[in-house]
Amino acid sequence: DAGITQSPRYKITETGRQVTLMCHQTWSHSYMFWYRQDLGHGLRLIYYSAAADITDKGEVPDGYVVSRSKTENFPLTLESATRSQTSVYFCASSGTMNQPQHFGDGTRLSIL
Amino acid sequence: GQQVMQIPQYQHVQEGEDFTTYCNSSTTLSNIQWYKQRPGGHPVFLIQLVKSGEVKKQKRLTFQFGEAKKNSSLHITATQTTDVGTYFCAGPGRPGGYNKLIFGAGTRLAVHP
């Protein structure tokens, strides 16, 4: 979907480093989500946001920080990366909590 | 906490065979959504079911929502190689429906020509 973009698409970093994954949407959707996808676990929610300056934890929030100063942006930061955070990260947005979610192309993150 | 379970985890079929994946929730769902993820791609919304016993069709895909609104299924008739991917169901995190989606682990479909 052209309306939601993630960057970078690929990232390799080392343990202990700080990493920020970016997410930008052009639909003015209220809700934005961050998921991680690992084999055998499907999509697990890390954090979500209902509007600018409103964020809440999902299923697996430990080790991650989010912010949402503007409606269109929802960056995800790994403050001190660990190998267990190697994963594919997807950002998504929707108009309301229960409306269909539109996903970005994902960021494949490897932590060495 | 609430769980959304999908079976099977993986299925491979010959092109032209039918395929079904099942989704079961530990609690009643106000609605259920289905997504498809192609290999290397991102999840793409397919459909949302809301009513008890609802059946919806999209060409060769048939989606059902159980009478008790705790289970759902996706059936593909006469699979094609373009059907390859992982199919996820997702439902709201608690009864009443106004909470974040919980995704099942997905069913990965392989289609052999």
Q: Identify all chain A residues contacting B108, using CB atoms and an 8 Å cutoff.
A: none
Provide the pLDDT for residue B97: 45
d(CA B2, CA A77): 27
| Contact indicator for A81, A18 with CB cutoff of 8 Å | yes
What's the number of domains chain B is made of? 1
> From first to last of its 112 residues, what are the pLDDT tens digits of chain A?
469 999 999 999 999 999 999 999 999 999 999 999 998 778 999 999 999 999 999 989 999 999 999 999 999 999 999 999 999 999 999 998 888 999 999 999 999 9
Q: Which domain range does residue B91 map to?
A: 4-112
Architecture per CATH, A4-111: Sandwich (2.60)
Residue of A nearest to B50 (CA): A98
Provide the pLDDT for residue A59: 87
Mark out chain A residues that contact chain B at CB-CB < 8 A.
33, 35, 40-45, 48, 58, 90, 92, 97-98, 100-106
Q: 3-state DSSP call for residue B54? A: coil
Q: Where are the domains of chain A?
A: 4-111
- The 10s digit of each residue's pLDDT in B73-89 is 999 999 999 999 999 99
